Amino acid sequence: MHHFISSENHIFKFSAGQPPVLKVSSGDTITFETMDCFSDQIQGPDDRLEEVSFDRVNPATGPVYVEGAEKGDVLKVKINRIEVGRQAVMLTGKDLGVLGARLEGMHFKILPVEKEYVVFDEKTKLPLNPMVGVIGVAPESGEISCGTPDAHGGNMDTTLIREGAEVLLPVRAEGALLALGDLHAAMGDGEVCVSGAEVPGKVEVTVTLVKGLAIPTPLVLNDRILAVIFSNETLDQAVDGAVEVMVELIKNRTELPREEIIMLLSVGGQVAISQVVDPLKTARCELPLRILENYNFKLY
């Protein structure tokens, strides 16, 4: 079955207490219409930043209740298609991003989106590379702002989360309560100024419930690699966490001893930065599937 949710149905916090806007079954396809991370408040060069409400950043469309989903399951979200709007916006300024201490005031920039490019200025066109910045499920208890990444997913700002990828989210609350938003027409790893090319758009996904696959943090699979996504207070801790989760996933599914796995990751894997500008930092540990296949690794 194919469902559609308009961006009017959105949340600013992931929480088990959020009433779902839609109930779906495992195997269903959903098109999420999404606003940009500023709730589409900045539309043109004449818009006044003082009038932009920053209480309305990072809306995520949803949440969607998946029948039968319960704590200990995994919700696999296949990103079938991402369609982005014709214009993106970027923001940076004082105390924002990596060099916010060196900036004064707030600055935004409108970037036209063409068929294959995002236009930065008259000299630079960047390849269009649509991705999903915020995708997550409800935590077991409490609430987590959509601007924060963590074990539930959320604002992971991970460039791998693009068309064709599968995002595996650890379910912690009944129904999973999936929500997503914060599309980027392009973004570089790190997202150093605090934003990508922020765009509204539509994301078509297919959700599948995987029973009994215990994962502590989100995973991303594409046709080439398996990646562990890990967020923590510092980038060092995020890297340690991503590597540790990857080692344990392989340890529990192959005959390889721990020291062999870590050596394999060291020569054949890749540690990468997703983002360094959100309330927690996000790193990832990737390993090619063709290497995992050598050891008959099966995730589930």
User: Where does this chain bind Zn ion (CB under 5 A)?
Assistant: 37, 133, 182, 198
279 versus 288: smaller Cβ distance to Ca ion: 279
Shortest spacing between CB 127 and Ca ion, in angstroms = 20
Shortest spacing between CB 135 and Zn ion, in angstroms = 12
Considering CB distances under 5 to 8 angstroms, the limit depending on partner class, which of Zn ion, Ca ion, none binds residue 28? none
Backbone angles phi, psi at 187, to 5 degrees: -160, 140
* Of residues 76, 52, 13, the one with CA closest to residue 198: 52
Helix intervals (H) in the chain: 235-251, 258-268, 289-293
134 versus 171: smaller Cβ distance to Zn ion: 134
DSSP summary character for residue 253: T
> Which stretches of the chain bind Ca ion, using CB under 5 A?
133, 155, 157, 182
Considering CB distances under 5 to 8 angstroms, the limit depending on partner class, which of Zn ion, Ca ion, none binds residue 155? Ca ion
How far lies 289's CA from each of 221, 228, 233, in Å?
9, 13, 29
Shortest spacing between CB 134 and Zn ion, in angstroms = 7
CA distance 109 to 225: 34
Considering CB distances under 5 to 8 angstroms, the limit depending on partner class, which of Zn ion, Ca ion, none binds residue 154? none
Residues 75-85: b if buried by 16+ CB within 10 A, e if exposed: bbbbbeebbbb
Considering CB distances under 5 to 8 angstroms, the limit depending on partner class, which of Ca ion, Zn ion, none binds residue 241? none
30 versus 35: smaller Cβ distance to Zn ion: 35
Residues 210-237: b if buried by 16+ CB within 10 A, e if exposed: beebebebbbbbbeebbbbbbbbeebee
37 versus 239: smaller Cβ distance to Ca ion: 37
Residues in the chain, total: 300
CA distance 207 to 28: 6
Considering CB distances under 5 to 8 angstroms, the limit depending on partner class, which of Ca ion, Zn ion, none binds residue 33? none
37 versus 176: smaller Cβ distance to Zn ion: 37
Shortest spacing between CB 182 and Zn ion, in angstroms = 4
40 versus 240: smaller Cβ distance to Zn ion: 40
Shortest spacing between CB 167 and Ca ion, in angstroms = 15
Beta bridge partners of 229: 284
Shortest spacing between CB 28 and Zn ion, in angstroms = 26
